């Protein structure tokens, strides 16, 4: 059975011994999100792979928006016509190719903010095909309490790391509170002492 975001949050709180506290829900969520995102940036999980995403081309334009749920590139392929018999892979532009003409069909791509660029692009037609294979951001499908954990096989690792971070935070908060209470008791005791 799949685990939802709300269930994972409760497990982390229970193992961190903050089960009765609800004021840390946002903190626990942010810790889960951080750990999940870092794990998915370091490794490529098939559960998050999105192949053959068609990019709508515009005649002689070389810059296009990345999908909203984009995390990491896998590959980019170009073909002539809407139903190409052959697609070729566009490779990432390296520094040694800094002087590439814009004339011709795409050979290279590079990222630029929330967009990607293909070059050359002057021969690109709206009727051609551009397919993007990429890995989605896990937080795009794991945001609501009812959403299921996107990569079940790494959930134990995420839970364990989250418990460690939340416990450390919770313990630091408790120690700070204890020290503050002790200081206040000492201050009150000194105020009542005879002079």
Q: What is the largest CA-CA distance in the chain?
A: 97
Are 106 and 90 in contact by the 8 Å Cβ rule? The answer is yes
pLDDT at 179: 47
- What DSSP line would sit under 22-61, residue for residue? -TTHHHHHHHHHHHHHHHHHHS--GGGEEEEEEPPP-TT-
Its pTM stands at 0.79
Pairwise CA distance, residues 186 & 191, whole Å = 9
User: Is residue 120 packed enough to be buried (19+ CB in 10 Å), middle (13-18) or exposed (0-12)?
Assistant: middle
Pairwise CA distance, residues 101 & 60, whole Å = 13
User: What are the residue boundaries of the structural domains of the chain, listed by start?
Assistant: 5-45+151-172, 48-139
> Are β-strands 108-112 and 88-92 bridged in parallel, bridged antiparallel, or unpaired?
parallel
**Distant-in-sequence, close-in-space partners of 65: CB < 8 Å, separation ≥ 6:** 114, 115
- Read off the pLDDT of residues 20-68 as tens digits, 9 standing for 90 and up: 666 788 999 999 999 999 999 999 999 999 999 999 999 999 999 999 9
- Read off the pLDDT of residues 108-154 as tens digits, 9 standing for 90 and up: 999 999 999 998 999 999 999 999 999 999 999 999 999 999 999 99
Pairwise CA distance, residues 146 & 9, whole Å = 11
- Listed in order, strand segments (DSSP E) in the chain are 49-54, 63-65, 70-79, 88-92, 108-112, 115-119, 129-136
CA 103 to chain centre: 35
- Read off the pLDDT of residues 85-101 as tens digits, 9 standing for 90 and up: 999 999 988 776 556 67
pLDDT at 178: 47
**Distant-in-sequence, close-in-space partners of 112: CB < 8 Å, separation ≥ 6:** 63
Beta-carbon-side half-sphere exposure of residue 1 (alpha carbons within 13 Å): 3
Instruction: Pull the structure tokens for residue 42.
Output: 């370091």
SS3 label, residue 18: coil
């Amino acid at each position: 059975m799949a685990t939802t975001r709300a269930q994972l949050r409760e497990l982390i709180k229970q193992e961190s011994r903050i089960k009765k506290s609800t004021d840390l829900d946002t903190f626990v969520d942010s810790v889960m999100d951080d750990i999940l995102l870092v794990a998915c940036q370091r490794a490529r999980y098939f559960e998050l792979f999105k192949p053959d995403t068609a990019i709508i081309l515009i005649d002689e334009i070389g810059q296009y928006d990345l999908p909203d749920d984009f995390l990491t590139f896998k590959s980019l392929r170009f073909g002539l016509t809407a139903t190409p018999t052959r697609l070729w892979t566009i490779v990432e532009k390296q520094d040694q190719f800094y002087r590439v003409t814009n004339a011709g069909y795409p050979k290279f791509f590079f990222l630029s903010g929330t967009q990607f660029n293909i070059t050359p692009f002057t021969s690109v037609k709206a009727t051609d095909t551009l397919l993007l294979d990429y890995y989605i951001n896990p937080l795009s499908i794991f945001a609501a309490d009812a959403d299921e954990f996107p990569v079940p096989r790494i959930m134990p690792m995420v839970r364990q790391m989250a418990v460690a971070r939340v416990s450390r935070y919770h313990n630091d908060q408790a120690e700070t509170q204890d020290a503050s209470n002790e200081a206040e008791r000492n201050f009150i005791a000194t105020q009542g002492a005879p002079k």
